[in-house]
Amino acid sequence: MCRSASMLSRGIRWVPFILLITIALPGPPSSAAIWYDYSADLEATYNQDVLRSGGTGSADTIQALRGSLEVNGITRRSSSRLALDPEYLKYNRFTRLNHLDVRLNGLWSFAPGPRSTIRIREAYSESTKQYGFENLEGAVGYPVVPWTRRTAWTFDPAYSADLSRRWRLEAEGTGRSLRFDSPKLTDTTQWGLVAGTTALVAGEQRVGGRVRVDAFTFIDGASGTVEPGLLDRVLSAEALWERDSPGVPRWNVAAGLFQATGAGVPTELKPEAHLWMAWGRSANRLSLDYNLGYSTLGGYGGLSRSRSGEVSYLHEWGRALETSVHGSYVSRVPLGEPPSGGTSVSGYLLKLEAAYRWRSGVGMRFANELVRQDRSSARNLDYQEVSLALTYVSRTESGPPRVHHGQGERR
């Protein structure tokens, strides 16, 4: 079996479980409500470097047809969502790149008691198109890789409980896998667990702490074997301060230390910090996200010292039109002295977007994106992507077409 077929078969194993946790709605049928949201886009794109190789002569125009079907369910004590997002891309010059991308996401939430919640999120995707610094989950902070087919799955169970009117306990697990068809890139598997507690202090603010453990496996794309001599275990501890409520502004601030270890390599002890803030008044929304810590190199090697930042501003011009400006920065430097393996990567992105929708659900979207990325062992990337799309969104959704707001980095 070829490598891509093998990866596909591994990913498909998770699809029945996504369906299971999404369709299983506890509670009497009479209390359940199910509804559907759907959308479609027909988009024309010009990209100066569709191969993402850093070379010249790889500009092309792309026609994309994408759809989205979302099934939502809710009962007295639970809710669920299943979203299927297929996308077919047709290249005018590089016809061998024509392909179908598929993304499947499931989310199930259940309240076993009046003050506790269990949530399970799972995602699976097979794709080649990478949008800026987003990874396959839509999280920002990952470097752009050369054109290749990527297979990814994510499994994140979480539990939260209010121990009293003041104290809250939260725990979340992480299972993540990223595979590339390219033998030049490194595949990654991650398992992790984070647990913490916070206390309600002044008003809607909470303070507390959390501890996280992560285990990584890095697989060489050429040989298919585990890469030895890398930092692959991380333990971190952080203090945090947050205000996550309908009030303005909202924020989440954390700072602490992490320790990375590995067989036969020196231990690394580094500081880490995270800042997220959001403001929203009337028709204006502004968000800021900054992360300093550890992460994988996103296909370019093992564990890295990571920095990423993101700023987004959105303005709504009535009910039909919205515009946004989005900027992001990403930096990955291999951890270790000497570095434990991999390529240093840094870059920035600027994106301007406008979306308009009529009451019928039909609309238009325009986007202009500039990407610059430096790589220590390969050609630098410097390209522009311009797109214009005709869109349709079902009437069960209100407001103009969705414009990218940024979701922050996920390790």
pLDDT in tens, 243-263: 877 667 889 999 999 999 998
pLDDT at 245: 72
Give the DSSP H or E segment for 189.
strand 187-200
Q: Which domains does the chain have, with CATH numbers?
A: 3-393 (2.40.160)
Residues 345, 52: contact at Cβ < 8 Å?
A: no
What is the per-residue pLDDT across 147-159, written as a single tens digit (0 to 9) for each?
889 888 899 999 9
Cα distances from 263 to residues 154, 228, 231, 340, in angstroms, run 26, 8, 7, 11
The 10 Å CB-count burial string (b at 16+, else e) for 238-276 is: bebebbeeeeeebebbbebebebebeebeebeeebebeb
pLDDT at 378: 73
* Confidence check: pLDDT of 408 > 50: no
What mean pLDDT, rounded, does the chain reach?
A: 84
What is the per-residue pLDDT across 353-377, written as a single tens digit (0 to 9) for each?
999 999 899 999 999 999 999 887 6
Model confidence, pTM = 0.83
Burial of residue 106 (number of CB atoms within 10 Å: 0-12, 13-18, 19+): buried
